[in-house]
Amino acid sequence: MAKPTSFHSDILPLFTERDIRAMSKAFNLASYDDVKAHAAIIYDRIRGIGGAVMPPPPPRGEGPWPQANIELFAQWMADGYQP
């Protein structure tokens, strides 16, 4: 059986320094507790639901995540938000 996805090894590396800085007024993407608390909102926004897709396309950001990253984030939630 595959090991569950974890915040520190699987999810945190998906956020760039630019993403973390850009979102710092709302919450800390580098913080397990903050990302867990806002996971549903983050999941919607990386899929472009509830507002502009995040991260924004250039020049303001690195652009939307590939589908594999979105699925990994969904798997992390399904696995119970492992640290």
pTM for the structure as a whole: 0.93
Q: Is the dihedral of CA 42, 77, 11, 72 positive or negative?
A: negative
Cα of 70 vs its chain's centroid, Å: 8
Q: Tens digit of pLDDT for each residue in 25-44?
A: 999 999 999 999 999 999 99
Return phi, psi of residue 65, to 5°: -70, 150
Question: pLDDT band for position 1 (50/70/90)?
Answer: low
Strands (E), the chain: none
